[in-house]
Each structure stands twice: as C-alpha cells, then as structure tokens.
Structure 1
Amino acid sequence: MTRTDRVLRVLIATDTYPPDVNGAGYFTHRLAEGLAGRGHRVHVICPSDHGDPYVAVNNGVTEHRLRSAPIPLQESMRMAVPLGIGGHTARLVARLDPDVVHVQSHFPVSRTALRRGRAAGVPVVFTNHFMPENLYAHAHLPQGAHTVAGSIAWRDMVRVAAAADHVTAPTPRAARLLREKGFARVVEAISCGIDLERFHPREGERATARARFGLPDRDTIVFVGRLDVEKRIDDTIRALARVAPEHDAQLVLAGTGQRERELRALAAELGIADRVSFLGFVPDEDLPLVFATGDVFAIAGVAELQSIATLEAMSSGLPVLAADAMALPHLVEEGRNGFLFPPGGVDVLADRLRTVLGPGDRRRAMGEASREMALRHDHHRSLERFESVYASLGAPAPLRLERVVAA
C-alpha cells in the first residue's frame, strides 16, 4: 500500500478547501484524497462551503466543516467563524487520536489545530503556502500599507510555524524564503505534485478541445488560475495586443476573480476583445481539456510559491512563458521548455510569444521538454514523502526532536 508499515490517522487542518478556488485549497484536497486512496484514515477540518457546520465523507476523506462566513469582497473563499473553533478542534483531536496533525497555514483553523495538537502530544507538520501579495489582494489593503502588513504577517507566520515538529514548503525557493523571513529551523521542500496520468499531452485532441469551449482554431495562449491582482494577467493581455497585428493568436483565461471586469475592459480598450476568451470557473475534471486547447502557457504573476497550474501545463506538454519571480524560475529552463521575462516586462513577453508561436518544431520540442521536467513532480512521490515524514514523527519524542533540528 505505502512505504509505511501501518495505516496512519491523519488530521489535516486548512483555512481553504474546495470549492474554494486557489492553489493551497487544491493541494490540500489532492493530498487528503491521495492519502485516503493509499489506505490511510484521513480527516480534514476546514470552513463550511455554505455557512452551516456539517460532516461529510467524500472519496474516503471525512470533512469536518466549521461554521463559516463570507469574506468581504472575496467571492472565492469563506472564513471559519472564530467562536467555538478551539473547543471543537480539541474535542476532534481527542476523539480521532491522530498520528499526526498537518496544518496548511498560520490562519485561524490551522493555527488552532496546531495548538490543540501540540497540547494533546500529537506531532504537527506545517506546510506554508502563504505570500503577503495574496493578503494584499484579498484584504484590499492600500499600497502604502503593504510593507507594514507584510512584515506583521510574516512574523506571525514564523511564530506559528516554529511550534510545529516539521516544516515544509513546495519548492526550494519557498523554503529559502521562510528562512529569509526569520524561521530558524530546517524547512524541507516537498513539491505539491501533480497527476501525470490526468495531465498529459493531448495534441491530437486540440481541435476537439477548442470546439468544446467554443474557441476559434488559432494559436492559443492559456492561463489557468484566479483573475486577481497578483496574477498580473493584464501584462499578458497587453503582450497579446502587441503580437496580434502580426500573428493570429488568442488568449484563453480559465478562472474567476476580482479583476475580471477590468480585464474585459482592458481587452476591449486594446481592440482585442475578440482575442481574449473568459471561460469562467472550470471544474477540475475539465482542466486537462483546457490545457489541450493551448499552444503555450503564460503566467505573469509574482507571488507563486510553486504554481500547480504551471506544472499541470508542463505535464500537458505546453511550453511555458513565466515571470522571473519567486519559484517560477524553478519550472523554466531558458530556451529549453520556455522562457522567463522580467515582471511587468510586457515587451519581452510579447517577443517571447512571437518566438514560441513561431515554427511548430521548436514549440513541439519545448513542449516535450516541459513534459519531461514535469515528471519530477509526480504526486505519488509527494505522497510517499509526506507519509515518510508522518511516520518519522511517530517515533519517540527524543528521536523526533533530533530529526527536526538536524541540518
């Protein structure tokens, strides 16, 4: 079944879980279902998706949904109502007697589970998905408050993470960032992982996929993700406008977000409204078809700790054009599977689009290289590594402590 010798009881705590639309929620969902699929007993504690608390079992995972409320001006997530979280979580930990508690952030549900797990003597794993840019966008903070708010948030996150037995991040860059922000212990980089069997090259299905979404049959740039400020999708739209007079290309955006209206207006202002398609929310089961519509994946965001969507695009055999920021450079080998461009570098991005949307042989070779690179991120490997971490923390406390502080 697994590399462990026993069935593990795992309690995962997260402040975002599907149907929330974001990378942390998707990762947590796939981690939970992946562990359950490997025979472990998995419970998730998270905000309710409609307000009222309830318990449900989905694909072998028991979801303990906490009472929740809408987040002002944020349609894609809800937050747990703080009142009663502590007592409910303590009772849940006592009843489930988990082998490990795995928390996904320093926000209320996760930090409460960490605290209650520690109080009960249960080992705790902390995985960081946080970037302050996400906070700025969701909280609608004014530009002048970003530096102070970011500093406060990082200090709080480092303080919460310090109480965990083992800390992970999705990439070496994300792990290094934690240390740069003052976290004094070792941070292990474990990829979020992707399903290589679901996301694979489908060049023969391109025409069918485009017809499925009502798209013209022309060279296609794809982006999958939230249409929010930190994703900088306006840069990609502006780059397309520079390329459009000389190249029959289009941009396909799969996702929803706060900036959709502005992005539609920008495309119209630049005279390319007919070249930008907004697919809205696309169910997870249909995402492989979205990637099948594309010739290249472009991501201009500057707050990616890994970018699951980029990995899925690579696994689907697409070249990648990515901003040279945060963890995205880990996913691009310049000239081999794509190109990097400076954040905000619209002219450079346009030039890279001209190159990739040029002769088909080069594009095809880059797509093959993307697929080869994506093989390193098989989600089965990620699941195995988390299993090993959980099992190691089940060792006697002195040995567990030694492993945590080792270099």
Structure 2
Amino acid sequence: MKILTFSTLFPNAEKPGHGIFVETRLRHLVASGKVESRVVAPVPWFPSTHERFGAWARFARVPRAETRHGLLVEHPRYPVLPKIGMNVAPALLAQAARSTIARIIDEGYDFDLIDAHYFYPDGVAAAMLGRYFNKPVVVTARGSDITLIPRYRLPRMMVRWAANQASALITVCNALRDEVVALGVDPGRVTSLRNGVDLDLFQPAARKDNPAFTLLAVGHLVPVKGQELIIAALPMLPDTRLVLAGDGPDHGKLEALAHTLGVATRVQFLGAVPQSELPRHYAAADALVLASSREGWANVLLESMACGTPVVASRVYGTPEVVAAPEAGVLMSERSARGVAEAVIALRSRYPDRAATRRYAERFSWDDTTAGQIKVFGQALERHAIKGNQTWKAYCGPST
C-alpha cells in the first residue's frame, strides 16, 4: 500500500522535535513492510533567514526536501495571514501543497490514499486535496484540533465537512473518539488507535539516589502545559525539587514565579532537550508530572513509564486511559497546585516498584497500533471504491 502522509506537524532539520509523534507512528508503520510512504509537510512561508526574525527565520531555513529515517519529506511553503488566517488556512494549505503532490504523482509515486494528521487546518486541507486528486483520505485527530478549534463557528463547519468527506477517521484515545462522534460523524467510521512507545529507546537505566525527591516535567513552556502549577506546589513539598525539560514563551514567567515563591533553588531549567537525551532524564527522576489542561494522548507519560518512572497527571481527555493502574502513577483529584502536591504525596506513600512501571509500559508497544492502521487504511480504500462505483452508476444512469 502506498500512502501520502500530509501534516504541518512533522519534524524537519530546523525543528527536529516538531510533531515527532507523527513521524514516530509513521516509522513504525513503514517498518511493517506493508506500507510505503512519502511525506508532504508544509511550513509557513517567510522571506528571510536572518536571525533577527527569530522563529520565522527558522521556517525560511527549512529545506525544500529532506530525507529523515529513510522517508522522503517535502516542505512546500504556505502563506500565513495575520488575523484572518485561521478561517482561510485550510484553503491556503491545500493550494500550496497541490503542485508538490501533482509532481510526486508525475514522478511515478501514484499513492493509494492520503494519511493526514491534525484536523484543522491539515485535515480539512487534506479533504480538499483528496477531492482534487480523487484519493481517499484518513484523518487522525490528536487533541486540540477536536477539543478546542471546533468551538469557533467556521472552523467547526469545516471540521465537520472534512470528517464527512474522509473515508475513515482515527483518534488517539477513546475520549477524542467521543468528541468526534459528538460532531455528528458516523461512529462506524471512527477508530481509536492509541499511540505506542519506543521501548528500545526509552528504557530503565542505573540511577543514583537523589538527595531530594525529584520531579520532572517535559514539554513546551506554554500555559496549556501547566508548569506554573507544579512550581506553585513546591512550597507544599519542602523536600522536593523540580527539573523542567523544554523551552517556550513562559520561561521568564516561570522563573519569576519560582523566585517569588522562594523555591528558585529547587527548580532547574534544562531548556530544549533532544528526544535521544530524554531517557536519562526520565530514568533519573522519581516522578514525571504533567499538569496540562488539554492532552489527546500525552506521549511523555508512556516514555517516562518505559524508563521505570511513575507519573502524576491531570485528568484530561486520554490521560486516564494511559494512567490506568497503580504501577503507572497517580491522577490528580483537581488541576491545581494543591492537586499536584496531594498527588505527589499520594504517589510517595505507595510508590510503585519501578520494574512494575516498566512492565506496564510494555503493554503499549506500537505493534497493535500499526496493525490497526493497516486495517483502517484497507477499509478506507474499500469505502472509496464503493463510493466511486456509486458515483459512476449515478452518472451513467440505469442500465437498459
């Protein structure tokens, strides 16, 4: 089976950690030997690579094409328009990618279906491209594309249109599946396939005894991740320190909060950490804390567990499906600083055997997810063929 993977959430040479969960799932799918893929991962257009333009200049430095882990990845440019951009983004994205996809077909890679990730604008654009190239489309919903964006009227209309245009839909947890069905989508076309964890990369390692109970938080320093709640919990956890792996616009605010609360000496900022270095940080910590307000399926939870480190997490969307046993960790009773502190105390009072935490994570290999994808893709091809036959018969009229 030949697929075209389409998403703005895909790593590139400038941002190797961007959308790495999409790349990881695809790598395991291709490794099955049953699927071949080319990738179209558009990036915003920007005219200058000068460093004074910061993050925008990094977009300009992304190569037009690159090979990652044996996958050929194309990066067409699409315009991002301030203020009105949200409503026109799907059309601009589809228009920007159309010539690249046409060239890929002309070069001999006539793919069977479009594998799109993130519903808006990517999934809507993919639905447009599917109609243009007469290809079935499978869209994977991953979190805020379903829990947040459909709150806006026009994006909601477009998400519903794309969901009904697609031959099949995938969600990364059952909670997101319920949200998609609530949009009016036929439940029979929506499959929940949770993410797996790379058990070879994320493994337990030899540990030193920490002088203080060590919490680790992994993720961008942005409001939705809730790192301020973890810092605010530290005054209630006097013998606990916090290590933050990640960078983002909230860095300065979080540092200031740590100083204000008198816990700055117990908070360490690592900055952005490459995925290859994360296992040693997971293994060195006593617990991972994830205080997010929104998560579809948080990969960091399973990564930590695979390294033998239990977790403390907020009860949002797919997280209770990940943290579903005592050896996995503890869910907060409320998403607040006190909720973080109480959950950490509860975890310490019945701290699980780290080997048991690793065994729990081993239940989440990628094998079942890969098999599920192949099945969904096959069903999508069948539905598209049936739809095509019905359209042809309607066009030709009743036989005589």
TM-score over 0.5 (shorter chain): yes
Find the counterpart in structure 1 of residue 351 from structure 2: 363
Cα distance change of structure 1 residues 396 and 108 upon mapping to structure 2, 3 Å threshold: closer
Q: What corresponds to 1:30 in structure 2?
A: 24
Pick from 126, 144, 159 the counterpart of residue 131 of structure 1: 144
CA contact (8 A) 2:221 2:247 kept: yes
1:146-225 matches, cutoff 5 A: 149=152, 151-186=153-188, 187-202=190-205, 204=206, 206-207=207-208, 217-225=211-219
For residues 267-306 of structure 1, what are the structure 2 equivalents within 5 Å? 267-306=258-297
Task: Name which of 360, 366, 378 aligns with 1:391.
Answer: 378
Q: Does 1:372 align with 2:359?
A: yes
For the pair 1:105 / 2:118, whether they are aligned, the reply is yes
Mean CA deviation greater in 270-279 or 344-353: 344-353
Contact 1:12 1:102 in 2 (8 A): yes
What is the rounded CA distance, in whole Å, between the counterparts of 1:23 and 1:329 in structure 2?
A: 25
1:63 aligns to what? 73
* Corresponding residue to 1:84 among 87, 91, 96: 96
Give the Cα–Cα distance (whole angstroms) in 1 for the partners of residues 315 and 17 of structure 2.
19
Deviation of 1:87 after TM superposition, in Å, equals 3.4
CA distance in 1, matches of 2:157, 2:334: 26
Equivalent position of 1:315 in the other structure: 306
Q: CA deviation at 1:21?
A: 6.9
| Shift in Å, 1:265 | 0.7
Match of 2:39 in 1: 44
Aligned equivalents of 1:185 and 1:387: distance in 2? 19
- Determine if contact 2:290/2:313 at 8 Å carries over to the other structure: yes
The whole-number CA distance in structure 2 between the counterparts of 1:132 and 1:251 is 30
> Which residues of 2 match residues 200-279 of structure 1 at below 5 A?
200-202=203-205, 204=206, 206-207=207-208, 217-244=211-238, 247=239, 249-279=240-270
- Which piece of structure 1 moves more, 80-89 or 120-129? 80-89
Q: Percent identity?
A: 24
**Cα deviation, residue 114, structure 1:** 2.9
Q: Read off the aligned partner of 1:363 and give its amino acid letter.
A: Y
Structure 1 residue 68: Cα displacement = 5.2
Give the greater-gyration-radius structure (CA): 2
State the alpha-carbon separation in 2 of the partners of residues 59 and 148 from structure 1: 37
CA contact (8 A) 1:314 1:320 kept: yes
- Are 1:18 and 2:11 an aligned pair? yes
* Runs (5+) with no aligned partner, structure 1: 1-7, 73-78, 137-146, 211-215, 402-407
Q: Is the 8 A contact 1:32 1:61 kept in 2?
A: no
CA contact (8 A) 1:132 1:153 kept: no
- Offset at residue 275 of structure 1 (A): 0.9
> Mind listing any 5+ residue stretches in structure 2 that lack a counterpart?
44-57, 83-88, 389-400
Question: For the structure 1 residues 234 and 131, does the alpha-carbon distance in structure 2 shift closer, same or farther, using more than 3 Å as the test?
Answer: same
Compared CA separation, residues 130 and 324, structure 1 to 2 (3 A): closer
Equivalent residue letter for 2:357: S
Report the equivalent of 1:119.
132
User: Normalized against structure 2, the TM-score is what?
Assistant: 0.80
Q: Deviations over 1:230-273 (max 9, x none)?
A: 111111111122112xx2x2111111122111111111111111
Q: Which amino acid aligns with 1:232?
A: G
- The 3 A distance-change label for structure 1 pair 332 and 32 is closer
Counterpart contact for 1:288–1:316, Cα < 8 Å = yes
1:295-334 deviation per Cα after TM superposition (whole angstroms, max 9, x unaligned):
1111111211110111111222222211122211112236
Instruction: Provide the C-alpha distance between the structure 2 equivalents of 1:12 and 1:271, rounded to a whole number of angstroms.
Output: 48
- Please give the secondary structure, in 2, of the residue aligned with 1:101: strand
Cα 1:396–1:343, aligned 2, differ >3 Å: closer, same or farther? closer
Distance in 1 (CA, whole Å) between partners of 2:270 and 2:234 is 17
Label 1:134 to 1:230 Cα distance change in 2 as closer, same or farther (>3 A).
Answer: farther
- Normalised by the size of structure 1, how large is the TM-score? 0.79
Check whether the contact 2:116–2:138 (CA below 8 A) recurs between aligned residues.
yes
